[in-house]
Structure formats: C-alpha cells, structure tokens
Structure 1
Amino acid sequence: MRFTRTRTAKAAAAAVVAVPLALGGLASQSHAQGASPSPSGTFGSGCSSIAQKANTAKDKVVEAAAAYPQLSQLVAATVRAKLTSTLDGKPDITIFAPNDKAFQKVTVSQLTSLLGNEGQLKKTLSYHVVDEKITPDQLSKGSFTTVEGSKLTTSGSGTDFKVNGEANIVCGNLQAANATIYVIDQVLQPPS
C-alpha cells in the first residue's frame, strides 16, 4: 500500500512540474505562429475543396495535375498544346496552375481564340511554369523567370499569396515527382 502511494505521489508531482512546462512551450509556440511563418505543407483556403488521389508525389506533373478534378481544363489545354512530354521531362519545376474557375473567367471568344492557336496556347501555358522549385518561403517577395521567358512576381505572407498582384494562390505546395504546384484563380497572360 505504501509503495502505491509513493508511486502515485511521484506521478502527481511529475504532472505538476510537466503541466507548466508544457504550457510555457505552447505559449512560445503560439507567439512564434503570430509571426506568420511560411507554410511547410499544403496550404490555402481552396485546398479543402481539391479532391486528390493518394500519392501524387510519385507522378510526373501532368499526371499529378490530372488527379485534381479542378485542374481538368488546364490538363486538357496542356495536352492540346503538346506540352505534356516537355513538362514531364523537366526536373524540379513550379507550375502556377489555373483552376477550372480561372478558365471560366476568360471570355468564350478569348478562350476559343487561345485554344485555336497552338503557338499562343503554348506561350500562355509556358508563362505559368518556372524552371526551378519554388518553396513557400520564396513566395513573399518573389520574382521568377518563366519558361516562356518573361517575369512573374509573387507576394504575400502566411498562407495568403498572390501572383502578379492579382491571381490568388488558392491551394499551394502540392507535390508531383518533378514539380511543385500552386493552384491559382486566374489565367495569367504573358506580357506582350
């Protein structure tokens, strides 16, 4: 009986010491979170609505994008522009991927014209691709040269980022075998 009381008393004493230490640790963590660090995993308000198959990290970028129903128009445009093997063959690229809602914002005549001109379609889609892996840490004040050859910029903090000051990253840091994907809500136009 005495042994049980001693063990119980030691456990209670350990708990009394551990609780303030744990609370102190939580206080410093919440303070650190207030500084809006860049996210390390997938982030964004639109991520919860993006359905995905398991393990796109093992797929090349076009197959990985095809796993997300919200990117179906981008995948179809990529196939139409004959960019699949080009994108799948590049290591460590970043794609700012317009979702289907972004394509719905483009007028029917503009979209028809774009899809009917393979050269212009390649140029537009290549403007969404950067030939390097961009991490969330680089998004706050980024300037990147696209595969098309022009610059695009990123800005923001925490989990709220924009591309070229207008397109929102609605779900970011999705991984493919050779790419990082940031889903955006607008189709970007390369500078003329």
Structure 2
Amino acid sequence: MSTHNIRRSAVLAAAAFALPVVLGMAAPTFADEAQADPFGPACASVPKEGSGSLAGMAKDPVATAASNNPALSTLVTAVKKAGLVDTLNNAKGITVFAPTNAAFAKIPTAELTKILADKAELTKILTYHVVGEDVTPKQLASGTFKTLEGGSLTTAGSGESFYVNGKAKIVCGDIQTANATVNIIDSVLTPK
C-alpha cells in the first residue's frame, strides 16, 4: 500500500469518528458493531430502566446483575448458598446459562430443598451452567462447550430459537454484563 493510500485511509477513518461528533451524535465504535442485541421472548419483560434493565445489567458483574433481575431470584439465592458470588463476579469473559425462577419451580420442592442444602451438589449444578468463554449467538447454532464443573454442554438452533442440551430453551439471550454474557434459560441443567 502506498504512503498516499495509507494517509487517505487514516483521514477517512478519522472522518468516520469526527463527523458524528460534530453533528452532535455519538461516534461509532467497533465494539458496538460487533455486539448483537439481546434476543428472545422473555427480553420484553426485562425492566426498561434501572439496575435490572439491560443497560443497568451491563454496568455490573454477572452475580450482581442477576440479583437486580426479579426473574432470577432463585438462582441468586442458590449462588449465595454455594458461595459463588465472588467467583462469578471476578471471572472474566464467561457465559452463564441462567435458569429463571420458573425453571427452578419445575424441580419438586423436596428435591430442590435437598439440593439447596447440599453445598457440594449445588456448586456442581451451578458451575455446570457456566462456560469459561464468551459464547456468541453464532456459536450457539451448533456448539459444544466445556463448563466450569468439568463437563460439557451443547447448544443448537437458529435465528432467535436456541436450546441447551436439547431441552432448555434460551428465553432471553446475549445479555451483556460487565464481565459475562448471560443466556436466560427455562430449565435447570443437570451435569452427567
């Protein structure tokens, strides 16, 4: 590439960022272009503003962000009982498949009470819902991912319809928090 072309490219790139600012708009960022919007039917029920909104959740680490979402209160209780709040909040670039309260309600009460009382079993189940990488919607189409529990889970689907392990539907996916991507699911996953 000639020096003239390099200078011309630099001027064009600078103009792309300067022009919107001059016009009173935000300059484009490459991160915004790469990130997809959250998807799924349950995204409509996320509060429009405040700490539990999509914008509010983006400011907090994942366990804190989840605690601000009323649909995830059972998960938050389980994370606290397992002692995983700091672990999740301090992790970087993870993906959490977060079961809703309704997902936990599918488990018989006696069984759920037993699981919540057994810290080792609870930790195993919860860490099975966490993948140690940022999983994108494109990867959800057909993926196998190693979980923090040590096992693996699979994802499949297309458009805005994705399933985890063939049974848990992602009802609101690709939610960004300060340190994680969250996919809210309608069933609790169990490790093998």
TM range (shorter): 0.7 to 0.9
Q: How does 1:20-35 map to 2 (within 5 A)?
A: none
- What amino acid sits opposite 1:114 in the alignment? I
Alignment RMSD: 1.1
Q: Identity rate of aligned residues, in percent? A: 48
Unaligned runs of 5+ in 1: 1-38
- Distance in 2 (CA, whole Å) between partners of 1:172 and 1:67 is 17
Match of 2:72 in 1: 71
- What amino acid sits opposite 1:76 in the alignment? T
Match of 1:48 in 2: 44
Q: How does 1:37-186 map to 2 (within 5 A)?
A: 40-51=36-47, 52-53=52-53, 54-186=55-187
State the TM-score, normalizing by the size of structure 1: 0.78
- Distance in 1 (CA, whole Å) between partners of 2:125 and 2:46 is 24
- Distance in 1 (CA, whole Å) between partners of 2:56 and 2:86 is 21
How far apart are residue 66 of structure 1 and its match? Answer: 1.1
- Asked which structure has the greater CA Rg, the reply is 1
How far apart are residue 89 of structure 1 and its match? Answer: 1.2
- Distance in 1 (CA, whole Å) between partners of 2:88 and 2:36 is 24
How far apart are residue 49 of structure 1 and its match? Answer: 1.6
For these two proteins, the number of residue pairs brought into alignment is 153
Unaligned runs of 5+ in 2: 1-34
State the TM-score, normalizing by the size of structure 2: 0.78
Moved more, 44-53 or 109-118: 44-53
